[in-house]
Amino acid sequence: MITSKSKANVLMLKKLLIFTLVMFVFGYALVPFYEKFCEVTGINNLLQADVRVKDNWVDEERWITVQFDANTRGLPWQFKPLQTSARIHPGEPVNVMYEITNDSDREINGQAIPSYSPRFLDKYLKKFECFCFTKQVLKPNETRQMPVQFVIEPNLPTDIDTVTISYTFFELPGS
């Protein structure tokens, strides 16, 4: 009887250890799940291209100023927009060029992360092309010009007349 009891205990121990292991893996599984969830629900799609809408309405009456900002954090690159701002009509497609230069003598992978002001601009900003959608690999001393194409939708709240689009380049591990 005693041995059957301790066998039952060991069986229980094994089951619970397996359960513990499953929960550990579950913790890691939350990472891709979170990414997928954000992608499907569109909560956090800063790095994805938007679909172009054909019949775009342009609000010719209204002007807004778009300021362009560029930063690097911890990698030896120069990074700047070729124009610092643009005056546009909401709904009008805009094309801006940015330039990056690798000042070092090693190949570096960089990733640009966007940031907007006001914060809710991402709801009205549709980006069709951006260097931030993929990582950028720069050879030693290479310079590259890269476009960003976007539309700011005309339903942007009317009290906003200036917006800022900012990018920061970070070094990716393994470069």
* Binding region for other proteins (CB under 8 A): 2-3, 5-6, 8-10, 12-13, 16-17, 19-28, 30-31, 34-35, 41, 43-44, 47, 73, 111, 113, 168, 170-174
Identity of the residue, 85 or 111, whose beta carbon is nearer to other proteins in the bound complex = 111
Identity of the residue, 31 or 51, whose beta carbon is nearer to other proteins in the bound complex = 31
Q: Could you give the CA distance from residue 92 to residue 127 in angstroms, rounded to a whole number? A: 12
Q: CB-hemisphere CA count at 13 Å for 49?
A: 11
Identity of the residue, 44 or 83, whose beta carbon is nearer to other proteins in the bound complex = 44
Q: Are 92 and 160 spatial neighbours (Cβ–Cβ below 8 Å)?
A: no
CB of 113 to other proteins, least distance (A): 6
Which has the closest alpha carbon to 145: 54, 82, 91, 87? 82
CB of 138 to other proteins, least distance (A): 16
Instruction: Please give the biggest Cα pair distance in the chain.
Output: 89
